[in-house]
Amino acid sequence: MFFYGTNNPTPQQLAFLTAINFSVVLAVALIIIKLLYPESIHWSLAIGIPIFTLVIGNISMLHSLRRFIYHKVKLIYKSIHSLKAPKSSNPLNVDMRNHIIDRVEREVIEWAKDWTQQIQNLQKLEKYRRDFIGNVSHELKTPIFNIQGYLYTLLDGGIDDPVISTKYLTRAVDNVERMAAIVSDLGMISKLEGGNLQVEKVRFNIVKLVQEVLEDMELHASQKKIGLEIKENTTRAYVVNADKEMIRQVLINLISNSIKYGNVGGQTLVGFYDLDKNVLIEISDTGNGIAQEHLPRLFERFYRVDKGRARDEGGTGLGLAIVKHIIEAHNQTINVRSREGVGSTFGFTLEKTK
């Protein structure tokens, strides 16, 4: 059997091909010697020696290739898998009938892709860690410096003035409460990410819960003359299976943001949409909207679209991150769509139940 038409021979084929080529060359040489010097060699030897060389050469070549491939493959596997190959002086576990090099090449390529992906993930995590530490430092630095300034003013004599002392102590308390809120929100995110915050699911009417939250926030909305409404087409009750207090927190955060960043005289609308097994709850506002480049990072911790305005409006910068973790803890999804000059819509799903 010849394999000259095979572009990618197996080691077994390569060993046989090498042996037969050598045997053919030897046979031709012996035949020429026999023809030139008829008495120098018998025909049986002229034919037998190449055949014997073919058999022995094939066995020897196959053994040599097996040992060579085994040691090279062993080295490659040790490099890409950080594994200790079995100590064996007899590398018979290499199947010479298969395309060993091709298989190893595929595994090396897959390993390289996986390793590249791991490096990219680690780089993203490192950047996220640096950003997070910087953000925490920045968020805590402002109230700490404020408190420090108020206390120094009081120590320098301001405490003797009842008006100044009351004013500065009140401001110091406000900044302490802001710090406490940041620490509390970070603790909740840590518990949600670590799966340590228990989700206690109960059956409740999500429409009724939304009505309760809207009523509680009417005073806040009235200060900016923003109307709070449920869309007219919502005529049925949607009973969901979720942690009621966590979902209340989600609604308070999203509706509060719609008021906080909404335009004076605007409107906040809540809509419900039946998605078979789930219900979609959407909170829409008529604010300035959010630029598209900000949307992918909107649920990151401390990420603010308008940093100056966001801090003036209050908040820890962790609200949307908490909302995302709460919804994901329910194995559901949350999304946002927005258009500058038109407004934003935040939507999340919950599991329906009978």
- For the chain, helix (H) and strand (E) counts, in that order, are 9, 7
Q: Could you tell me the pTM of the whole model?
A: 0.59
Domains parsed from the chain with CATH numbers: 11-98 (no CATH), 128-194 (1.10.287.130), 202-351 (3.30.565.10)
Helices (H), ranges, 225-335? 244-260, 307-312, 319-329
pLDDT tens profile 332-352: 999 999 888 888 999 999 999
pLDDT value for 2: 44
pLDDT tens profile 213-266: 999 989 888 888 999 988 876 667 889 999 999 999 999 999 998 998 888 888
Measuring CA to CA, how many Å separate 163 from each of 157, 160, 276? 12, 9, 61
CB 266 within 8 A of CB 287: yes
User: Which is it for strands 267-275 and 278-285: parallel, antiparallel or unpaired?
Assistant: antiparallel
Summarize the confidence of residues 53-59 as an average pLDDT. 74
Task: Please report, as a single letter, which amino acid is at residue 192.
Answer: L
Instruction: Report whether pLDDT(283) > 70.
Output: yes
Of 338, 241, 329, 331, nearest to 296 by C-alpha is 338
CB 207 within 8 A of CB 230: yes
More confident residue, 324 or 71: 324
pLDDT tens profile 137-152: 777 888 888 889 888 8
Report the C-alpha gap between 58 and 94 in whole angstroms. 16
pLDDT value for 65: 64
Burial class (CB in 10 A: 0-12, 13-18, 19+), 270: buried
